Amino acid sequence: GGSAEIRDNLIISNTATWAGGLRIINNAQATIVGNEIRGNVATNSAGGIDVDCCGGSRPLIARNLIAQNDGGSRGGGVVVLSTQAEMVNNMVVGNKAELGAGVYLEGSDAYPVSATLTHNTLVAGPAGGEALYVSGAATATVVNNISAEHTTGITLTAPASSQLALDHNLFWNAS
């Protein structure tokens, strides 16, 4: 539980096993607004921001620069696991990870993901990767976003029960 407002900070050049920049866990409520989250490294997951477990939180991630982070195996910019999140007006630029260089969403049957991405700009770095990677039990609503230079715009590996709604997005120069 608990809550936090994380506003107008520089979160730069940190290293961790999980979540190089920020980690919001255990149903914590968070407002993450106006930050520069840059150059962070996580060896396992979430170079920039990790929102994790267990369905009770719905953090707002808005107007941040999330750039040049390395998420290792998944989620270079942002990871949302087994909970909810709303991302609005972020610049997610030049991040890298094996899966989901920009944003990685994954849920389970017990704790599905519900995420809304609106008015974000996702630009790949030299490594390419997916702008958005969706896995497991997930519902994602993706509206008015721009994705540029990613190897893949969206990868969906979720079960048939998962839902992905896309409306008015631009995917540019995906290979």
pTM attached to this predicted model: 0.94
- Give the pLDDT of residue 49: 96
- Give the pLDDT of residue 111: 86
CA-to-CA distance for 170 and 120, rounded, in angstroms? 11
Instruction: Please check whether residue 77 is in contact with residue 46, taking contact to mean a CB–CB distance below 8 angstroms.
Output: no
- Give the pLDDT of residue 63: 98
Angle at 89 between CA 80 and CA 52, to 5 degrees: 15
- Give the pLDDT of residue 175: 64
- Give the pLDDT of residue 117: 96
Pull the structure tokens for residue 105.
């969403």
- Give the pLDDT of residue 1: 67
* Ranges of the chain with pLDDT below 50: none
- Give the pLDDT of residue 97: 95
Instruction: Please check whether residue 105 is in contact with residue 131, taking contact to mean a CB–CB distance below 8 angstroms.
Output: no
- Give the pLDDT of residue 26: 83
Instruction: Please check whether residue 70 is in contact with residue 63, taking contact to mean a CB–CB distance below 8 angstroms.
Output: no
Structure confidence by residue, pLDDT tens digits, 40-87 = 999 999 999 999 876 677 889 999 999 999 999 999 999 999 888 999
- Give the pLDDT of residue 108: 87
Question: SS3 for 52?
Answer: strand
CA-to-CA distance for 136 and 145, rounded, in angstroms? 22
CA-to-CA distance for 90 and 106, rounded, in angstroms? 20
